[in-house]
Amino acid sequence: MKPIDNATVLVTGGSKGIGLAIAEEFAAHGHDLILVARGQEELERSAQTIRDSAQVNVLTFAVDLSETHAPERLFEQVKEAGVSVDVLVNNAGVGMTGDFAKGDYVKMTRMLQLNILTLSQLTHLFMQPMLERNHGRILNVGSLVAYFAGTPNWAAYGASKHYVLSFSKGLAREVKGSGVAVTVVSPGTTATDFVKTADAADMRAYQSLDGPSVNEIAKVAYKACQKGEVSAIPGVSNKILAYLGELHPRAIAFEVFAYLSQKKD
Ligand SMILES: NC(=O)c1ccc[n+]([C@@H]2O[C@H](COP(=O)([O-])OP(=O)(O)OC[C@H]3O[C@@H](n4cnc5c(N)ncnc54)[C@H](OP(=O)(O)O)[C@@H]3O)[C@@H](O)[C@H]2O)c1
């Protein structure tokens, strides 16, 4: 597909981690940004750093996207600001590890709302004008866990990322030829604040965080999105793990990933 020039790119969870790196990558290519996250101060700090270094326009909206009506409110706010979004990056997401049965169910609901429903609704809202213009991109941030046969210790988080992968692939096919493309990027374990908020530091998979950095992930994501590729997995070892996850018999892969998802005593 022809790359998108002079785009306005909305990045959810754009204040830090993978989302900020993706935002910086778009800005480095001259695209304007809209960054969304909850923490206003961090959001504004990140926006100012990008304005200073890349000389692009950056708007910020401090929104809790785990609230039920947040996507519609954000869509209206962007419309009122008179901006049309060419690229939507659905990156905001949180993880939860540990026993599902013992977990905080309210926290779980907010995670599922953010990782699944908000991502779907933002896509639904922002995609319509893109389809009318025959021009646009949706870039969804999934996870390598989506390639695993199942992930004990983060069963619900893993399932939420299975949704992101499956939804993105299905939607990419639905809009093929429309001028709008859908890409899903699936990072493996990455050193960000996610590790702490998901309480994943003592999980075997997170013992050595030597995979691609957030900047490397962002470069892969940017390229795949601009080319209109359906799926991208940053890092060679992550690609191998994803391939292993799809091999049959999946029972073997399940045991491998169940081991990797265990917390160390
Ligand atoms: N790090 C990993 O190992 C890893 C691996 C695979 C996939 N991923 C995925 O990558 C994505 C980004 O994660 P990350 O590692 O970059 O995590 P991070 O460093 O913790 O960043 C998360 C971003 O999302 C925002 N956010 C969190 N909850 C939000 C909410 N309710 N409403 C609006 N914004 C919210 C955060 O800002 P505020 O807290 O200020 O809201 C922040 O900007 C997620 O979808 C995650 O599932 C991460």
What domains does the chain contain, in order, with CATH numbers? Answer: 8-260 (3.40.50.720)
pLDDT of residue 248: 81
Instruction: Fill in the amino acid letter for 132.
Output: E
Beta carbons of 224 and 168 less than 8 angstroms apart: no
pLDDT of residue 208: 80
- Best mutation site among 11, 12, 15, 18 for ligand 1, i.e. most ligand atoms within 8 A of its Cβ? 18
Give the Å distances, CA to CA, from 153 to 6, 25, 195, 196, 198: 43, 33, 14, 15, 11
Q: Is 147 marked active-site?
A: no
With CA atoms as reference, report the closest residue to 3 among 183, 226, 181. Answer: 226
- Which tokens is 209 given? 């965080």
The ligand 1 atom nearest the CA atom of 37: 34
Find all residues with CB under 8 Å of 34, minimum gap 6, and list them: 8, 9, 10, 11, 14, 58, 59, 60, 61, 78, 83, 85
Q: How far is the CA of 17 from the centre of ligand 1 (A)?
A: 7
Ligand 1 atom 23, closest CA? 13
pLDDT of residue 201: 93
The ligand 1 atom nearest the CA atom of 187: 6
| Dist. CA 42–CA 40, nearest whole Å | 6
| Dist. CA 259–CA 212, nearest whole Å | 22
Q: Residue length, the chain?
A: 265
- Read off φ and ψ for residue 168, nearest 5 degrees: -65, -45
pLDDT of residue 256: 85
pLDDT of residue 249: 79
Would you write out the chain's pLDDT as a tens digit for each of its 265 residues? Answer: 889 999 999 999 999 999 999 999 999 999 999 999 999 999 999 999 999 999 999 999 999 999 999 999 999 999 999 999 999 999 999 999 999 999 999 999 999 999 999 999 999 999 999 999 999 999 999 999 999 988 899 999 999 999 999 999 999 999 999 999 999 999 999 999 999 999 999 999 898 878 999 999 999 999 999 999 999 999 999 999 999 888 887 888 888 888 888 887 7
pLDDT of residue 83: 97
Residue tagged active-site, from 147, 157, 163, 206: 157
- Exposed / middle / buried, residue 197 (Cβ in 10 Å: 0-12, 13-18, 19+): exposed
The ligand 1 atom nearest the CA atom of 191: 1
Beta carbons of 42 and 15 less than 8 angstroms apart: yes
pLDDT of residue 179: 97
pLDDT of residue 200: 94
